[in-house]
Structure 1
Amino acid sequence: MSTVSEPLLLDAFLRHQSEIRQFLARKVSCPIAADDLTQETYLRIARYRGGEEILDLRAFLFRIANNLALDYLRGLARSEARDYGPVEDSIACRAPQPDSAVAAQQQLARMERFIYALPQQCRTVFLACRVDGKSYAEIADELNISPRTVEAHMYKAIKLLKERMDWL
């Protein structure tokens, strides 16, 4: 038998291109990598200069594609081993990014200023309710005022804080 010419190889590749791509997609489990490897298979065939006898063109094409897939998978395994494996959710940093942490600290500082700028009685009621978690009845007993007055102070405190926050 004689060696195969380049046009025959390229024609065979074009006939089997979709099969090769499907084979590679199954092999490497990544459609993007399969597209790249299919293209690399074509380039290898386009550069092939003969020298050996090819009995089955389809098998030859799939052998090239398979070798490229194995090289790809080995490279992937080496990079994962070098980089200590894929990043898992369990080791990902859950802390906020520095810029969002700074923004949160600034917002907290503004809120504290707004709270301490409230009238004394409103501030006391607001902190007892929102920070200490006390009920209106408990606050009323401690301050010797009615629960209705506690409610009025809370309403006023929330209204003033909302206005100041909206103003920003």
Structure 2
Amino acid sequence: MSDDGLIGLRRLFVDRYQDFKQRLARQLGSADVADEVMHDTWLRLAQAEQVGVVQNAEKYIFRTALNAATDRRQKEKRHQAALDITNFLELPDERPTPEQVAVARSEFEVFKRFLAGLSVRRRLIFLAARLHSVPYQEIANRMGVSRALVQKELVLAHRELTAIRKKIEDERMHQPLDNRLDQ
């Protein structure tokens, strides 16, 4: 198509702008997207240096608009994929720090010593109730003791554990700063 044909396409686009936009809005399901696509279509027509033989100018313009819509959709998908990747890469590392691992290991060692220091009956009651969530009455039935004794043993175990934790915290607070930083 000659320069006159290209000028004719541009003129038709301007003259029938609202018709094309309404058809696009119906086709794409959004007046806003149709408006953006119409702008993209105009840019394509304005930047074109030449076009081949055009049998139907309206169909040519509408096909150009649909191609612009497809390109826009693909570009948005690529952009969204890039954002998803960026968001994934920016996820915080939830692994514990070496310091947190050291503290956890230290606390676990204290807990193991605490358990080892309990009487056998108190240790069994404590583990059944706190680790395995066994109801007090069931623990009492299994061990052949009263429910009140199970509760008493748990209170005593908790007191011992609290005392041990307090002692450790007090020791940490009274250590020289240099030693606390090394732990």
TM-score bin (small chain): 0.3 to 0.5
Bigger CA radius of gyration: 2
How does the TM-score come out when normalised to structure 1?
Answer: 0.46
How does the TM-score come out when normalised to structure 2?
Answer: 0.44
Structure 1 or 2: more helix by fraction: 2
